[in-house]
Amino acid sequence: MDKSCINVGILGWGTVGTGVSKILMNQNSLIAKNSGTELCLKKIVKRTLPATRQGVELPMDCLTTDPAEVVDNPEIDIVVELIGGVTTAHSLIKRAIQNGKHVVTANKALLAEHGGELFQLASEHKVSLNFEASTAGGIPIIKTLQESFAGNQIHSLYGIVNGTCNYILTEMHERAVDFSDVLKVAQDKGYAEADPTLDVEGIDAAQKLILLIALAYRSNISLSQFHVEGITSITQKEIQYARELGYVIKLLAIAKLTDGNRVEARVHPTLVPERSLLANVGGAFNAVCVIGDAVGPTLFYGQGAGEMPTASAVVADVIDAAKSVQQGVSSPISQAWLAGAQAEVGVCPIDDIETRYYIRFVVADRPGVLAKIGTILGNWQISIASVIQKDPHGMETVSLVMLTHKAQEKNMKAALAEIYTLEDVKDEAQLIRIEEEVDF
């Protein structure tokens, strides 16, 4: 199909939608020069009117409150969904695809829940569904996994993919402040939502991990299939003791291919060596480390959120979709996701993983406690690599901080259950997993 101008409609004119409109309006000639495709912003759906945005001058008839003027409009070739949420976005994207429109979305929650269905629908209607901005903002990790690493077996990937959590942990590490205090600052600065649950409980990172696994391993998994743990239990003591031991705590989204052709998928706070590149990703920035059998370790770093970085990724997808319109083909990303539906790669349960652990016990300050704990750990094939005793807490208790050698998760759980029966152990242990493979 030869069209002089590819028409674009945007659903949602919030922060990212504003950024997308700025790029499409202000960089139109640059986009046409670099891509050979002219993009015309035809319609924007806004919840309420009138509406204006600084730096964007729109034609009077461009804004509307009716989504049908985008998804059902025969003049529009590409629909950009930026309204967020699941139910309404799902319905509108389905309508757009059924009407033969290519779709671009930044909605990781929607794709994590309905990705398989939507990509199947896109394939049936021979349109593309692009989603680069759904994970890590302006970092081109989706396209990299799909295209640049197509000849690699991905051994593992580690992602700092939630800027809110990374900002909080960075501030706790650098300024020695408590979680609750940093969270309030993050909310005041706009890094955290008024209800930060999706971020701080690890759910946002887990949704993004689902998308990365779909591309890296051609495996479609659901949120209920893997371990997800947030950062709300991380205290200043853990930050301090981790630093003394040469580590930094990060919330990592982790995927590894095991020998048994299963994917080890998990999201949780993780100790990473302080000299590693991932340990030095600070503030609200994101990073994804991908280790392939041919390419080796690689690191992708940048702004994982915000108006213009995310808009940059959206517009890149719009340009790809425009090329699909011109050539009459769908995106290969859709086909990759569909291949995942038939993949024979299962999910490795958290109980089967093997890793090193940081454990902090609060115990009675008396002789023999360490020996009792060490005996129980040894009975469950858990070897202690190092142990330090920290200053008394008062009430005649101290912290015992241990690092273990590699152990199986189910053995660690069983050992802790037995240790908690000891009279000398006064509280549940703080347990954080350790990843050494990121040390480059």
Residue with tokens 């006064």: 426
Q: How many CB atoms are closer than 10 A to CB 38?
A: 15
Supply 197's token pair. Answer: 């649950």
User: Contact 251/173 with Cβ under 8 angstroms?
Assistant: no
CA 249 to chain centre: 16
Residue 234 vs residues 81, 194, 246, 284, 351: alpha-carbon distances, Å = 35, 20, 17, 18, 22
Q: How far apart are the first and last CA of the chain?
A: 48
Q: Where are the alpha helices (DSSP H) in 72-202?
A: 87-98, 108-124, 141-143, 163-175, 179-189, 197-200
Q: Which of 101, 208, 250, 256 is catalytic?
A: 208
Supply 204's token pair. Answer: 């946002």
What whole-number distance in Å separates Cα of residue 180 and Cα of residue 316?
Answer: 37
The answer to whether the Cα torsion of 105, 106, 110, 115 is positive or negative is positive
Residue with tokens 């995106």: 331
Counts for the chain of helices (H) and strands (E), in that order: 15, 18
Q: Is 46 marked active-site?
A: no
The partner residues of 129 in beta bridges, in order of sequence, read 103
What whole-number distance in Å separates Cα of residue 133 and Cα of residue 110?
Answer: 13
What whole-number distance in Å separates Cα of residue 382 and Cα of residue 375?
Answer: 9
What whole-number distance in Å separates Cα of residue 306 and Cα of residue 16?
Answer: 7
CA 162 to chain centre: 6
Residue with tokens 């990303």: 333
User: Contact 8/77 with Cβ under 8 angstroms?
Assistant: yes
What whole-number distance in Å separates Cα of residue 167 and Cα of residue 303?
Answer: 12
- Report the amino acid identity of residue 264: E
User: Contact 12/21 with Cβ under 8 angstroms?
Assistant: no
Q: How many CB atoms are closer than 10 A to CB 436?
A: 13
User: Contact 360/401 with Cβ under 8 angstroms?
Assistant: yes
User: Contact 242/359 with Cβ under 8 angstroms?
Assistant: no
Catalytically active residues, by annotation: 208
